[in-house]
Amino acid sequence: MPIKKNVTPPTATKVQKNITQHGKTRRDDYAWLKDVNWQAVLKDPSKLDAAIRAHLDAENAYTNAVTAPLAQLQEELFQEMKGRLADDDSSAPMRDGPYLYYRREEAGKQYPIYCRKADESADEEVYFDVNVAADGLDFYKNAALAVSPDHTMLAIVEDTNGSEIYTLRVINIATGKQVGQSVSGLGGSLVWANDNKTLFYTIVDDNHRPCAVKRHVLGTDPSTDKEVYREKDAGYFMSLGKSSDDSYIFLRIGSHTTTEWRFMKANKPTGTFDVFAERIDDEEYDLDFADGTFYIVTNKDGAVDSKICTCPEATPGRANMVDLVPYQQGTLIEGIHLVDGYLLRQEMHDALPRIIIRNLKTGEEKAISFPEEAFNLSLVGSYEYNTSVVRFVYNSPSTPAQTYDYDVATDSRTMVKQQEVPSGHNPADYVVRRLTATSHDGAQVPITVLHHKDTPIDGSAPMWLYGYGSYGHAIPASFSTIRLAMVNRGFVFAVAHIRGGTERGQQWYLDAKKDKKVNTFHDFIAAADHLIDQNYTTAGNIYAEGRSAGGLLMGAVTNMRPELWKMVHLGVPFVDVLNTISDDTLPLTPPEWPEWGNPITDAAAYDDIEAYCPYHNLEAKAYPHTLITSSLTDYRVTYWEPAKYAAKMREVNTADTLTIMKMEMATGHGGASGRFDSLRESAFEIALVLAIFNKA
């Protein structure tokens, strides 16, 4: 099924702009695509400059024309992928006080319905139907749904245009009526105090950065809400939460390299947030509390992959920390959870996850693990502290999610839910492998591979290679029904667990920051070369995909080795790194300097970024087919980055390949909010891939 190649693509107007930094001048002919009033556009897309809107509309019209012959295939893929989702589904109920809480989906509905019941045989109570809240809206997202400690009130933090500027409203669960006025301008984080009437929430400034915490009392005018903390450093994010036993409210303040926690008694919400341990550059810690003891996961004392310490409630602070779980190099502690008498920790060891349960009285430890070559394991924990039952979820590239309740006292597990694939799925039909590639400097890069057992491994199969490699985010070896649409059509799917993530510990991340960022790109290329060497595919027969910072990866490897890829997908891509990280007014720029370097003040950082910036390094040569997807209201990677990249790619590309940009005009960084709308986005992308690879 061919795509329509004889459509004339839009040509962006060129307006020369010269930018000088550190004695160097660069030219940016498409800088005009950044609306001078971009802050207003994020809040209200209708305020977009008319000339910019006309260009984006022309891009979308071109995309629609080129892909018009794929409409039937898109619909077939949508129905196929929809058939792998349980239309009527529900999560396994989980106890929280007097209720079992769960969520479910109903046939034909886009969004989940949140429910509870007193016990398995009791009548169901719907306490929030997202479909009702989202009715008539193009986009709807909850940042938080928080039930009050007495289970009578529901706090809802919601975004209706994808800009991640949230509004808070509280409803009485029994009546369904809103209590008091809505509160706008939130940053997406909130927590209840134990008095069931006081809420703490974060707010954002004009540049969309979390800047303060306020306290709201139900029934009072939001304009009188008291500010209880203000952060002066624009490079720090903030989030609110509670200790495992609900006795403390926590405020986490952190950059990409440094953290500081503050705490307040949850029973005394008129108090102040006290500092647990003042911030020290490049020292990170996470905090929990139960039974008179603080538990701290920290990298202090050179514990790069972290250790766990304790500290008495009476004497909080760095000086009084005592090691509980010592540092083990190469085993990254990702998080902890406390239940009565037990500490659970999730670790990443040898690029695979595991859960360790520690008896706090005896010090005895047990591990939860599974035998597959590659898998994903997630500790859910529990809503309650006074319990011995915790929850975890297991899946692998071939095995749908299995939800278990695990009794830490008896070392017994019970499967409480198996992910259903209504159209049918047999894990035995698929092969999962863990390979290792050698990068340019000898680093050993893990690769997770999934393919159908009938797919020939002789170099003839097309490859779908995915990567990310930033911010210490490890890509899990997980199950996805969406991937099956291509794997069942003969594609080999692979994830390159490249540096920049934490698959091999925190050092794996540190070795791809700032001046070492190029290691991320070399690792991805090494993974591709290894897969070719092992006859999984051939050069020029690879579909490479990355999103957000993974879009930066895609842009960089496309510039470095364009002959490897037949098609590249840059999703909400961070491709204009040099300009963005040099603009300190943008929402995420100051917080990003610890990750990428500060090219404003540091000439060496400027040189490093200049050398790999995808947009800056586009030049006249043959590029692969390029799909760029983005959103007008995305504040994380602003719309003009992909728009500029698409315009320049068309200008310099010497090959007879397509550059297609799809700009969503009413979604955010994560794409469509409804489950079926999201599937349609995937159907569009996969149909285009199948057409380019002659698999349609």
Tell me if residue 411 is catalytic.
Answer: no
Per-residue pLDDT reduced to its tens digit, 220-267: 999 999 999 999 998 899 999 999 999 999 999 999 899 999 999 999
- Give the integer Cα–Cα distance in Å for 512 and 515: 8
The tokens describing 156, both together, are 């809802």
C-alpha distances in angstroms, 641 versus 127, 532, 575? 40, 32, 6
Active-site annotation holder among 305, 669, 673, 682:
669
Residue 237 in contact with residue 262, Cβ under 8 Å?
no
Residues 290-320: pLDDT tens digits?
Answer: 999 999 999 999 999 999 999 999 999 999 9
Binned at pLDDT 50, 70 and 90, residue 667 comes out as low
Residues whose CB is less than 8 angstroms from the CB of residue 232 and which lie 6 or more positions away in sequence, other chains included: none
Backbone angles phi, psi at 560, to 5 degrees: -75, -45
Give the closest residue to 606 by CA, choosing from 145, 98, 8, 20: 20
Q: Quick one: which H or E segment has residue 610?
A: helix 603-612
Q: CB within 8 A of 645, min separation 6: which ones?
A: 555, 570, 573, 575, 576, 614, 615, 618, 628
pLDDT band at 210 (very low <50, low <70, confident <90, very high): confident
pLDDT band at 371 (very low <50, low <70, confident <90, very high): confident
| Secondary structure (3-state) at 569 | strand
pLDDT number for residue 671: 62
Q: Which two tokens stand for residue 252?
A: 């986490």
Pairing of strands 226-230, 210-217: antiparallel
DSSP SS3 for 265:
strand
Q: For residue 53, which phi and psi values (nearest 5 degrees)?
A: -60, -40
Secondary structure class of 415 (helix, strand, coil): strand
Confidence at 30, pLDDT banded by 50, 70, 90: very high
Contact 592, 581 (CB under 8 A): yes
Give the separation between CA 96 and CA 100, rounded to whole angstroms. Answer: 6
Q: Which of 548, 630, 631, 673 is catalytic?
A: 548
pLDDT at residue 626 tops 70: yes
State the pLDDT confidence band at 586, using cuts at 50, 70 and 90. Answer: confident
Beta bridge pairs of residue 310:
295, 322
55, 625, 634, 673: the catalytic one is 634
> Counting Cβ atoms within 10 Å, is residue 227 exposed (0-12), middle (13-18) or buried (19+)?
exposed
Distance CA 429, CA 421 (A): 14
pLDDT of 668 > 70? The answer is no
With the CA atoms of 667, 670, 671 and 672 taken in that order, what torsion angle do they form, in degrees rounded to the nearest 10?
-80
Chain segment 476-530, per-residue pLDDT in tens: 999 999 999 999 999 999 999 999 999 999 999 999 999 999 999 999 999 999 9
CA dist 524 and 526 (Å) reads 5
On the CB side of 625, how many CA atoms lie within 13 Å of its CA?
Answer: 20
- Closest by alpha carbon to 74, among 686, 695, 549, 565? 686
- Give the pLDDT of residue 434: 97
Selected from 2.60.40.10, 3.40.50.1820, 3.50.50.60, 3.40.50.920, the CATH number assigned to the domain covering 18-82+424-692 reads: 3.40.50.1820
Is 672's pLDDT higher than 80? no
Question: Is 634 known to be catalytic?
Answer: yes
What tens digit of pLDDT does each residue of 271-285 get? 999 999 999 999 999
The span from the CA of 243 to the CA of 253, in Å, is 16
- The answer regarding whether domain 89-326 maps to CATH 3.40.640.10 reads no
Structure tokens at 536: 């999984």
Does the active-site annotation cover 245? no
Contact 168, 155 (CB under 8 A): yes
Report residue 305 CA to chain centroid gap: 21
The pLDDT confidence band at residue 572, using thresholds 50, 70 and 90, is: very high
Distance of alpha carbon 642 from alpha carbon 47, whole angstroms? 19
Q: Give the residue extent of every domain in the chain.
A: 18-82+424-692, 89-326
Give the per-residue pLDDT at 635: 78
Q: What is the mean pLDDT of residues 416-441?
A: 97
Return mean pLDDT, the chain.
Answer: 95
